[in-house]
Amino acid sequence: MGEVDPAFIQEPEHRPRISYIEGKGVPLIDLSPILSSSNVSAIEFEGLVKEVGDACKEWGFFQVINHGVPLEMREKIDGASRKFFAQSLEDKRKVSRNEKEVSGYYDTEHTKNVRDWKEVFDFTIEEPTIVPASHEPDDTELTEWNNLWPEYPPDLREICQEYGQEMVKLAYKLMELIALSLGLPADRFHGFFKDQTSFIRLNHYPPCPTPELALGVGRHKDGGALTILAQDDVGGLEVKRKTDGEWVRVKPTPDAYIINVGDIIQVWSNDRYESVEHRVMVNSEKERFSLPFFFNPAHYTMVKPLEELTNEQNPAKYRAYSWGKFITNRKRSNFQKLNVENLQIYHFRISE
């Protein structure tokens, strides 16, 4: 590739720093107390709940080990993803995302209207996934999102579906810990995820000739409830540290998952746990692969602060919004460069 397309160039204040800080990084949490085979004391379990709560409050991000997802499954999906992206552009475009289907392959995602240096393949967990037909508030029509499965590699579909089920299991366990850490019953969030709109993204970040000007993913917050990310050993994910606003890199830890609070948990918790900005740096030598799972509720969920977490002294900071309308709006705006800002939760903030 010669000259870099200006669509990829970040404004100077958002360009990455090539010499990054590793500093005090995101917490690493051992989930072995919740593995069904382990015999845990109440104290140990309480300790885990507190660790998760502290990490959500102080960082919005943490890594987990001993999470129960078989390493073999992760290796399988990683291998399938590498095979898929190694194909020619023409072959990958056979499963291109289009106006109707938001899943599939594409390489034109924009974050805050700057193009990301990456290509992706998306698939939803529920097949089909039911969502509003349009983002227009008064339109009540529903539609289906269907997955576009490639012919190659032939086992990609099965591997992805299997991996998806593992992610859902882990996500429920994490939501239980988060609920307990907020003083709620463990299953408080479960009901929201029946008819979930969760999806998984296979990310490929090719080497970039100008890593100082572009980003793999521009700074953003995840709009869903919770994200479970697998990154390879190349590294590049940076998190905005809450204490000082510095961008810190999440050091790759073998077989760990990176968990982050999304905007919906921020709203449910009435800002006790905030969704934190993050971005991805690319580099000029190595390609990088990652696999985020976005745990999202049913489209008909009206997202609003939980009543148990609000009262007269701490009134709701957000008005209710429709998750279905939010996600259809986002899917539309990330697909093309629009001249307006993306929909964000602060648009629903109640002014004080």
Instruction: Report, in Å, the least distance between residue 151 CB and ligand OGA.
Output: 25
Note the residues at the interface with Ni ion (CB under 5 A): 222
Nearer to ligand OGA by Cβ, of 156 and 217: the residue is 217
Three-class SS of residue 264? helix
Give me the amino acid identity at 288. Answer: R
Instruction: Report, in Å, the least distance between residue 111 CB and Ni ion.
Output: 9
Cβ-count burial of 216 within 10 angstroms (0-12 exposed, 13-18 middle, 19+ buried)? buried
CB atoms within 10 A of CB 233: 11
Nearer to ligand OGA by Cβ, of 175 and 280: the residue is 280
Instruction: Report, in Å, the least distance between residue 292 CB and Ni ion.
Output: 6
What does each C-alpha distance from 229 to 63, 83, 202, 252, 327 come to in angstroms?
Answer: 9, 20, 10, 11, 19
Nearest-angstrom CA–CA distance, 156 and 154: 6
Q: Tell which positions 319-338 bind ligand OGA, by CB under 6 A.
A: none
Nearer to ligand OGA by Cβ, of 124 and 231: the residue is 231
Q: Tell which positions 206-225 bind ligand OGA, by CB under 6 A.
A: 217, 222
Instruction: Report, in Å, the least distance between residue 113 CB and Ni ion.
Output: 16
Nearer to ligand OGA by Cβ, of 174 and 182: the residue is 174
The position carrying tokens 């291998």 is 79
Give me the amino acid identity at 177. Answer: L
- Which of 229, 239, 265, 282 is in the footprint of ligand OGA by CB under 6 A? 229
Nearer to Ni ion by Cβ, of 33 and 235: the residue is 235
Q: Which residue has the closest beta carbon to Ni ion? A: 222
Instruction: Report, in Å, the least distance between residue 190 CB and ligand OGA.
Output: 24
Three-class SS of residue 237? strand
Question: Taking CB under 6 A as the rule, does residue 278 contact ligand OGA?
Answer: yes
In this structure, are residues 134 and 126 in contact, taking their beta carbons and an 8 Å threshold? Answer: no
Nearer to ligand OGA by Cβ, of 198 and 231: the residue is 231
DSSP codes of every residue in 82-126: HHHHTS-HHHHGGGB--SS---EEES--EETTEE-S-EEEEEESS
- Which of 171, 200, 267, 280 is in the footprint of ligand OGA by CB under 6 A? 280
Residues that bind ligand OGA (CB under 6 A): 201, 203, 217, 222, 229, 231, 237, 278, 280, 290, 292
